[in-house]
Amino acid sequence: MKRKALKVVLCLVMLGVLAVSSAQAGQWYTCTVNQAGTSFAAYFLVVTDTAATPAFTNRMFFIDTSAGNQKSMLAAALTAWANAGKIQMWLDSPSEYFTTPALTVSN
């Protein structure tokens, strides 16, 4: 009986940990692109938040390569950079060197 109760408690704890770790408070940021390019196998952006009180300025982020669409995201960033446009990028954290899994060009 104790063994069964222990298994139930462990399962509940694991579910709680998974729920907390998957509930990250990410958000979209509208940014100007200051630099964009590649370095070895990494794709990077240096961007500035355009909000009235910016969360970051001249901060480097990496493009997530796990989805396989990193070249199209880099192309979107280069297009925004060349045309003095803006991008919207999803960030789980505005801390430097984080990766962005999504990026779009905006006006």
Query: Structural domain boundaries of the chain?
Result: 27-106
Is 61:96 a contact under the CB 8 Å cutoff?
yes
What DSSP letter does each residue of 51-101 carry, written as one string?
SSS-S-SSEEEEE--TTS-HHHHHHHHHHHHHTT-EEEEEES--STT-EES
More confident residue, 80 or 2: 80
Q: What is the mean pLDDT of the chain?
A: 82
* DSSP state at residue 66: T
Band (106; pLDDT cuts 50, 70, 90): confident
Percent of the chain scored above 90 by pLDDT?
64
SS3 92: coil
What's the pLDDT at 41?
A: 82
C-beta neighbour count of 40 within 10 angstroms: 4
* Mean pLDDT to the nearest integer, 72-99: 93
15-50 pLDDT per residue, tens: 444 444 444 589 999 999 999 999 888 999 999 999
Q: Does the pLDDT of residue 14 top 90, yes or no?
A: no
Q: Could you give the dihedral angle defined by the CA atoms of residues 51, 75, 44 and 39, in that order, rounded to the nearest 10 degrees?
A: -160
Q: Do residues 104 and 67 touch, judged by C-beta distance below 8 A?
A: no
Average pLDDT over every residue of 83-97:
93
Structural class in CATH, domain 27-106: mainly beta
